[in-house]
Structure 1
Amino acid sequence: MTLDLPVIEDLTTTQMPPAQTGMDIRQIELVGADLEPLRSLFLDKLSFYDAGPAGPGTQVLRNGAAKFKLTARPKGDATAEQAERLFVERHGTAIRDLGFRVPNVAAVVEATRRAGGRVIRDHDVTDTAIVELYPGLTHSLSGVIPRVPAGEAIRSGFAARGIDHVAICLPEDDFETVVKRYADVFGLDVVHEEFVETSTTAMNSVVLADAQKHTKLVFMQPRDGQQKSQIQTFIENHGGAGVQHVAFDVFDIVAAARWLTARGIEMLHVPDSYYEELSDRVAHLPHPVEVLRDAQVLVDEDESGLLLQAFTRPLFERKTAFLELVERRGSTGFGSGNIRALFRAVEREMASAKADAG
């Protein structure tokens, strides 16, 4: 059943959130072979807008408090062009840098050295630095509070408050060491742990966050099962550890999912059997089940409220990275009930398809 729901076309009365005082995600760098397809994705489909001048082969864009730097091979700069080429050859189109604003850049640099990470560019008079805590993903650091223009409106369409969380896949053997390194270097706390197992596959996840929960990093570990974990598949296709998905905190998840679908971005299919049991699992749904099914939105409930989630299919050539949409209605969780219900639904669909095949 397809319902003709209105899409939010204008949110000009909504203000961008003010700059925060703790650690936060300042900018995410996405690297690809060609800048134009990336520009088209963010400008035409994700409602980002030009956030100012950038260097050769780069474009800086913003949606709400979410800021992306798109990078391709800059013409005429042999060193930079080689760096981009080597990155794309290994990882495909992927996130290369997850930039943070931190209260004390020098302290993070020294903590990186003590923890066995790599300092790519030391702390300098600009109060910036670049560190790497595990090969394949760097972190640009800045102690400068990002300037958010007062009264600037969230643009229409795919309207985001900012980044809810970023999910990183790590190899099984290095998982505990790397998670501890991130916690020690950035002073993050474990706020959620979960082991998910089905009859065929398994994964482990740990969520780290700063005290204000402005920055939430989800680390995922493949675990042994009858079939290869989706986390292990990502690591193999990506060419190592890396960012699997970025979750946008959106104002209206149904409208956002419809906006993406209308512009050719395919959402992850949720089996009908998930929605058949949804009313039994969540007492007070925010939308009719038909609306949620049509938008492919998942709903979870914890003691604090509701969490609505939706996922795109992988966006780039290696079928690795994708986007998550999150609308929090009180919930501070990460969709534990959704994960388990979705796994059960997928397994029921697979069993049904097998039975139908004879």
Structure 2
Amino acid sequence: MAELYSLEFLCADVKGAEKLFREKVGFTTVATNGENVVLKQNKAILVLKPATCDSERDILQKSGTICNNVVFKVSQLQAAYDKATRAKARVIHQPQPLTDVGGTVNTFTIASPFPNVTHTVVSTTDYNGVYLPGYQQCANSIDTPSGISFVDHIAYACETGTSDDIVKWYEDKLGFAKFKLGADSDDLSVDLSDGPGGALKLLAMEYWRCSEKGVRSGGENDVKIVLVESLPNSGVSNQVSEFLDNNNGPGVQHVAFHTKDVVSTVTTLKKQGLTTIPIPLEYYSLLDKKSIVDQVSCDTKSLQENGVLLDSEFDDSSKRYLMQVFSTALFKKSTFFIEFIQRCGATGFGAGNITALFKALELQKASGQ
């Protein structure tokens, strides 16, 4: 069993990033080791780190602030390490215990399929400290939570033609598997070829607790990953190609935070300075959106003011839908941004749920904002 434990960011300005996540996203600073800062909101944990060597300073010079380490938590660390090494994962740090007064955490780190992203795997079964050994708890903060519950999914922007190999990497090294993009479809990829941003390919994966039996995992902190790439000869620039240019290569494009009330969450954060991608009023009168709007206990004006996108997963017995909001880029370079998602009965990862991102970004791009 694997869960997402934390997301680590290599920051050009740790204090500035801390201020941003606290004031504009509602996180609270909970721990520090003197250099790194740990922020938390419910089950979502972010770690902000300064550059400590020339190679990290070079990354910041070329890419700006990035999410450079996705940390997974497992109950059987040795089994996870054996699986990764049998599949010839490149080991950065071999298994080692980290200890302080809170107990012991066992950990190892491997390279990911992305040049500037690593994966640390930890087992915290014998630890009751604030984060990891070496971190001290910070004084209680007066920060106001924004309603974020946990990380719903992580999205990577990939080079054209690489997503299938990346899927295989996660399958072989970490036991991930593809899963349905939509509740009514077995499609594992979606081509968006009818918009101004050209054709895009998307693949979705998540960790399967019993992958040998094909049993899909459940629970809030299971790891879900979306991969997106431009299709060959798409002909025009889109948000993926622009991310690759600005980021100096592939990497974490965005992180989606789950919330039980997306309108309330975003209303609060916009008052604190967060900016979101604007959605034209006409969007809510589209035939496939109107039926969802009719179910939402919120007027169209509030939906538009908060940039809420809608997607449905309807069948004969139930009507399930999703509500999403996307921020503009958080840091100096136009790369990383965040998503807020509210799942109203929808448990799958619908194709419309994914394509909403690209529709929204292309609307922003077309309007010049």
| TM-score of the two chains, using structure 2 as the length reference | 0.79
Question: What secondary structure is seen at the aligned counterpart in 2 of 1:208?
Answer: strand
Q: Deviations over 1:3-48 (max 9, x none)?
A: xxxxxxxxxxxxxxxxxxx311111111112111111012222221
Q: Is the 8 A contact 2:326 2:357 kept in 1?
A: no
Could you tell me which residue of structure 2 aligns to residue 285 of structure 1?
Answer: 296
Distance 1:199 1:69, change over 3 A: closer
Aligned match of 2:211: none
Say yes or no: does 1:94 pair with 2:92.
no
Structure 1 outlier segments of 4+, above 6 Å: 341-351
1-structure distance, mates of 2:26, 2:63: 26
Question: Aligned-residue CA RMSD in angstroms?
Answer: 2.8
Q: Partner of 1:169 in structure 2?
A: 157
1:315 aligns to 2:335 (yes or no): no
Match of 1:336 in 2: 351
Partners of 1:32 and 1:94 within 8 A in 2: yes
Q: 1:334 to 1:122 in 2, by over 3 A?
A: same
Equivalent AA in structure 2 for residue 274 of structure 1: Y
Which runs of 5 or more structure 2 residues have no equivalent in the other structure? Answer: 98-104, 131-139, 181-187, 209-216
Q: Could you say if the C-alpha distance between residues 327 and 281 of structure 1 is closer, same or farther in structure 2, counting changes exceeding 3 Å? A: closer
Equivalent in the alignment of 2:119: 139
Asked if the contact 1:48/1:61 (under 8 Å) is kept, the reply is: yes
Contact 1:273–1:349 at 8 Å: present in 2 too? no
Pick from 184, 194, 215 the counterpart of residue 223 of structure 2: 215
Mapped to 1, the partners of 2:124 and 2:19 lie a distance apart of 30
Query: In the TM superposition, what is the alpha-carbon distance from 1:147 to its structure 2 partner?
Result: 4.9
Q: Do residues 66 (structure 1) and 63 (structure 2) align?
A: no
Determine the C-alpha separation between the residues in 2 that align with 1:210 and 1:302: 22
Query: How far does residue 283 in structure 1 lie from its aligned partner after superposition?
Result: 5.1
Q: CA deviation at 1:136?
A: 1.5
CA contact (8 A) 1:279 1:285 kept: no
Match of 2:134 in 1: none
CA contact (8 A) 1:31 1:96 kept: yes
Q: Which residue number in structure 2 is paired with residue 129 of structure 1?
A: 108
Q: Is the 1:253–1:326 Cα contact (8 Å) retained in structure 2? A: yes
The correspondence of residues 240-279 of structure 1 with structure 2, limited to 5 A, is: 240-277=249-286, 278-279=289-290
Native 8 Å contact 2:92 2:110 kept in 1: yes
Q: Distance in 1 between matches of 2:205 and 2:124?
A: 23
After TM superposition, list the pairs within 5 Å mapping 1:164-203 onto structure 2.
164-192=152-180, 193-195=188-190, 196-200=192-196, 201-203=198-200
Which whole-Å CA distance do the structure 2 matches of 1:94 and 1:344 have between them?
24
1:305 to 292, 314, 320: 320
Quote how far apart the aligned CAs of 1:333 are: 3.2
Q: String of CA shifts for 1:107-139, please: whole Å, max 9, x gaps.
A: 333333343431100112442001112222101
1:326 aligns with 2:306: no
Counterpart residue number, 2:133? none
Contact 2:279 2:363 in 1 (8 A): no
1:194 CA drift (Å): 3.0
Cα distance change on mapping 1:346 and 1:26 into 2, 3 Å: closer
In structure 2, what residue type is equivalent to 1:334? F
What SS is found at the alignment partner of 1:320?
Answer: coil
The answer to whether the Cα contact below 8 Å between 2:28 and 2:145 also exists between their aligned partners in 1 is: no
Q: Deviation at 1:337?
A: 2.8
Q: Match of 1:323, SS?
A: strand
Query: What SS does the corresponding residue of 2:112 show, helix, strand or coil?
Result: strand
Give the aligned partner of residue 100 of structure 2.
Answer: none
Classify 1:199/1:39 alpha carbon distance in 2 versus 1 (closer, same or farther; 3 Å).
Answer: closer
Contact 2:170 2:177 in 1 (8 A): no
- How far residue 182 of structure 1 moved from its aligned partner, in angstroms, is 0.5
2:36 is the alignment partner of 1:39: no
Structure 2 CA distance, aligned partners of 1:221 and 1:160? 28
Q: How does 1:52-63 map to 2 (within 5 A)?
A: 52-56=31-35, 58-63=36-41
Aligned amino acid, residue 294 of structure 1: E
State the match for 1:6 in structure 2: none
- TM-score, normalised relative to structure 1: 0.81
* Alpha-carbon distance change, 29 to 345 in structure 1, aligned in 2, over 3 angstroms: closer
Which range moved further: 138-147 or 123-132? 138-147
Q: Residue by residue, what CA displacement relative to the aligned partner does 1:192-251 show, whole Å, maximum 9, x if unpaired?
A: 323122244111111111232421111112213231232122112111111000100112
Give identity over the alignment, percent. Answer: 27
Task: Find the residue that maps to 2:258 and give its secondary structure.
Answer: strand
